[in-house]
Amino acid sequence: MKKYTMSPMTLIALALLVALSACGGSESNQPSEQGVQQAPQKVYKWKMVTTWPKNFPGLGMAAENFATLAERMSGGRLQVKVYGAGQLVPALETFDAVSQGTAEMGHSASYYWKGKTRTSALFTTVPFGLNAQEMNGWLHYGGGMALWKELYEPFNLVPLAAGNTGVQMAGWFNREINTLADLEGLKMRIPGIGGEVVSRVGVEAVNIPGGELYTSMQTGVIDATEWVGPYNDLAFGFHQVAKYYYYPGWHEPGPTLELIVNKQAFESLPDDLQAIIEGAARAINQDMLDDYTARNNAALDELVNTHGVELRQLPDDVLIELNRITQEVLEEIAAEDAGFKKVYESQKAFREQAIKYHKISEQAYYRARELKASD
């Protein structure tokens, strides 16, 4: 099977390609030094479908940024038209549309496809699992990408990491959550493994596309919802339909978004355009995290200080029990599904090593940053 992992040398070659493009080296009809006009290079015009509203901040703009970057890097040889959720296909049909070739590319989150393969959820996020920094490390240098490509091979797809929001929020509620029993009876939008976890404490977990969440909360179709974090939640106006905003996002500590490419379409490209897709995906993967890191701060301030949202922390005993149930769910699925077990064990081993190191790096630094001299 053909491998698509980007090596350091490929990245260097890609940088040289961009430099040459900027100097006019990729112009298709430029005459050669001998005065002979070169044959025009083929232009690929692709469609990308997404699960996000068109031009939605953060999530939706990652797809737009990819398209802009790919066209610029290729000197116009790769042109991608982005369709928001519902413009070409419904949000939750993105996977099938790309798999079947209706569109060449898609931008989404893999945990939406757990109905096709439960293992897909592991490539978005795992409750109490890897954060964004750790997910990137596991995917690109810990064997995660090879496992992801193996999983998607039967679906005629090539996956790439293409965005991360960082640790999310626990969600919006109109009921105070003081004990685990307070979750019982709620109908909540919460996809992925997080949804399976809360189902065990009496929550009816549902999966609804982002563009339908505000109306669903407003009309009582759902009682609570998680979405992303302050940046996106403010844009959707959830503060108008819910009172309490809970943290931390135990269920989505490092949610990775995916760029999926139809395998035949990808293999039809010349090597340099394949490299451009890989390089542009890596670029927007980091760019989205930068975007959320910069914008969540001001958005949270506005939600609390302008709109009067009540910011609440989930009690420790609630988090402890949710963590216990999470491990129970993961171990049960792994015992039933060999493919899930293979990916889960890889991720779990990486997590254990990351925890050890981050105790003396990230966590130790956060503590040191808060230290103050005693009076």
Is 11 among the domain residues?
no
Q: Is 54 in the same domain as 157?
A: yes
DSSP H/E element including 105: strand 105-108
- What global pTM score does this model have? 0.88
Pairwise pLDDT comparison (167 vs 373), residue with the higher score: 167
Helix residue ranges, H only, the chain:
8-22, 59-73, 94-100, 132-141, 144-152, 192-199, 213-219, 230-236, 263-267, 271-305, 316-336, 338-360, 362-370
**Separation in Å, CA 247 to CA 131, 138, 271, 310, 318:** 15, 25, 44, 11, 12
Q: What is the mean pLDDT of residues 265-276?
A: 98
pLDDT in tens, 210-227: 999 999 999 999 999 999
45 and 153 fall within a common domain? yes
- Which tens digit of pLDDT belongs to each residue from 104-157? 999 999 999 999 999 999 999 999 999 999 999 999 999 999 999 999 999 999
Gap between the terminal Cα atoms of the chain: 65
CATH code of the domain in which 55 resides: 3.40.190.170
The residue segments making up the domain with residue 186 are 171-250+308-370
Q: Which of the four pLDDT bands, split at 50, 70 and 90, describes residue 40?
A: confident
| 235 inside domain | yes
Q: Are 237 and 339 members of one domain?
A: yes
The answer to whether residues 336 and 266 belong to one domain is: no
How many domains are there within the chain?
2
Residue 269 lies inside a defined structural domain of this protein = yes
pLDDT of 17 above 90: no
Report if residue 6 sits inside a domain.
Answer: no
Residue 363 has pLDDT above 70, yes or no: yes
Q: Are residues 99 and 147 in the same domain?
A: yes
Residues 78 and 208 in one domain: no
- Calculate the average pLDDT of the chain: 92
Which of 240, 263, 294 is where one domain is finished? 294
Same domain, 98 and 228: no
271 and 343 assigned to the same domain: no
Measuring CA to CA, how many Å separate 371 from each of 302, 321, 361, 365, 366? 28, 30, 15, 10, 9
Between 2 and 199, the higher pLDDT residue = 199
Cβ atoms of 287 and 62 within 8 Å: the answer is yes
Residues 82 and 228 placed together within one structural domain of the fold:
no
